[in-house]
Amino acid sequence: MDTKAMFKLLSFSTLLSFNTLAFTDTTEIVNTCINCHGKDGISTEPDIPTIAGASAAFIEYSLFAFIDDARPAQESKYRLGDTSKPPTNMKKVVEQLTDEQISEIANYFAQKPFKAAKQEFNQALVSEGKKVHEQMCQRCHNAGGSDPDDDSGILAGQHTLYLENSIKNYLNGSREMGRKMKQKMEQLNKNDYQALLAYYASQQ
């Protein structure tokens, strides 16, 4: 192989490496995450979930779900840091990570304490929401939706708008869910969902 051809091959290999290994260490990935999810993974944006304190298994599963299109990846602008950067989405970000990096980032945020969102809620619906949760959701979402060890995500204290959007995505089929959860959700009506949202928001 002549020198010119070898240079072209090396240049292509270098370009390929930059395209597939956009992140070099955990710190860089964390900084990218907090630019949307907030410092230490505690979101101050109503449409973005707090990821601090969720189990590593849940975070890891969620990240792979974006890659597999099992969760919709909506375009979002950066909320912190360099907000002049073009909008991105979770699939674009996670596809740049290796399996090892996904595991590292999941463990990093799992070790951070969860902080409930301070938000308004309908006090009149809280009691009914608790009943609906205990009847329909408690089996998988323990302790009123606050137990990270059930690997089902933290609902209690999560942002209402984010939860509301998640419900819509489940119901319209853009977010994948298990058979048992689907059966449960199909039994609930609009009032039940509003009561659940009030109950989860009340846990501050």
Query: pLDDT, tens digit, for every residue of 187-196?
Result: 999 999 999 9
163: domain CATH number? 1.10.760.10
- Are 186 and 193 a contacting pair, CB within 8 Å? no
Domain stops at, among 77, 110, 143: 110
The structure tokens 């463990």 sit at: 107
Please state the domain count of the chain. 2
- Are 198 and 121 a contacting pair, CB within 8 Å? yes
Please check whether residue 11 lies inside any domain of the structure.
Answer: no
Same domain for 105 and 37: yes
Type of residue numbered 155: L
Mean pLDDT over each residue of the chain, to the nearest integer: 89
Q: Tell me the residue range of the domain where 156 lies.
A: 123-202
Please check whether residue 116 lies inside any domain of the structure.
Answer: no
- Are 82 and 36 a contacting pair, CB within 8 Å? no
Domain stops at, among 61, 87, 110: 110
The pTM assigned to this predicted structure is: 0.86
Same domain for 146 and 94: no
Burial of 23 by CB count in 10 Å (0-12 exposed, 13-18 middle, 19+ buried)?
middle
**Backbone dihedral angles phi then psi of residue 88, each to the nearest 5 degrees:** -140, -175
Same domain for 129 and 103: no
User: Nearest Cα to 141, choosing from 91, 192, 184?
Assistant: 184
pLDDT score, position 24: 59
